[in-house]
């Protein structure tokens, strides 16, 4: 066997070993085998992530807590959700100015679940160009961490009107369903991060919401299961 044939065989063998670590979109997968024993997941977002719809039992019924149980004892899920926060820096309560944002970055989690935008839809917050400009930088702040985490960017769920025909808290679902939905998808595609569509998941399920905006126990359960499926699909080791 000459040297050229030997090199060819070695390259082929290495490729076969590494192939399971690449998903069908060419995005790097993570494997518990190659990481520390405990998988760390950080959920970053607003009151939907915080668990306002299950406030009295959020430590058990908010979707990050449910996700932790689904992932099992070798995982630790951290909830960095804050009520009322916006993605854009000119909003009334920008997430990037909060201590939780810095803590989430400092955690250097293996996986980040990112979802903001619902509060950006409020008339006094909405700025299409600002969100288009700032969303990629927000995602990159996590994606570019030295530990190379896996990023899952989520499109916010549908917001439903109450009996008076209005969505509460000044939220404009027509923006959540159109501009915000598309901007999140475009950003995920451009930055090559994973995308989870919670709008499609919740679109026909007003019964999953406590007040039209915040998921109740059932809604949080369905969101957690959707995230778990996405993580598991991209990591057969979970």
Retrieve residue 83's tokens.
């009520």
Residue 69's CB is within 10 A of a number of other CB atoms, namely 13
CATH architecture of 38-233: 3-Layer(aba) Sandwich (3.40)
Mean pLDDT of 190-197: 98
Q: What is the DSSP letter of 92?
A: S
Q: Comparing 85 with 27, which gets the higher pLDDT?
A: 85
Residue 162's CB is within 10 A of a number of other CB atoms, namely 13
Retrieve residue 134's tokens.
């700032």
Instruction: Indicate the burial class of 224 (C-beta count within 10 angstroms; 0-12, 13-18, 19 or more).
Output: buried
What is the DSSP pairing of strand 111-115 with strand 39-45? parallel
Q: How far apart are CA 30 and CA 109, in angstroms?
A: 12
Predicted TM-score of the model (pTM)? 0.85
- Could you report the per-residue pLDDT of 102-161, keeping only the tens digit for each? 999 999 999 999 999 999 999 999 999 999 999 999 999 999 999 999 999 999 999 999
């Amino acid at each position: 066997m000459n040297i050229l044939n030997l090199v060819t065989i070695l390259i082929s063998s290495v490729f076969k070993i590494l192939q399971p670590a690449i998903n069908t979109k060419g995005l790097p997968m993570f494997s518990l085998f190659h990481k520390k024993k405990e998988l760390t997941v950080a959920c970053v977002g607003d009151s939907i992530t915080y668990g306002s719809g299950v406030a009295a039992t959020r430590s058990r019924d908010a979707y990050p807590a449910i996700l932790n149980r689904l992932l099992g004892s070798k995982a630790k899920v951290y909830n960095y959700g804050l009520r009322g926060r916006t993605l854009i820096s000119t909003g009334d309560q920008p997430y990037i100015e909060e201590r939780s944002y810095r803590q989430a970055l400092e955690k250097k989690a293996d996986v980040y679940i990112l979802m903001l935008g619902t509060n950006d839809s409020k008339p006094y917050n909405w700025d299409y160009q600002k969100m288009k400009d700032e969303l990629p930088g927000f995602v990159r702040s996590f994606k570019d961490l030295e530990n190379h985490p896996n990023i899952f960017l989520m499109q916010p769920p549908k917001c439903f009107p109450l009996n008076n025909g209005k969505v509460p808290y000044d939220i404009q679902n027509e923006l959540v369903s159109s501009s915000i939905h598309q901007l999140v998808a475009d950003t995920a595609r451009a930055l090559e991060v994973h995308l989870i569509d919670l709008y499609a998941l919740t679109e026909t399920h007003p019964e999953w919401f406590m007040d039209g905006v915040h998921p109740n126990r059932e809604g949080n359960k369905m969101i957690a299961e959707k995230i778990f499926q996405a993580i598991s699909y991209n990591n057969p080791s979970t």
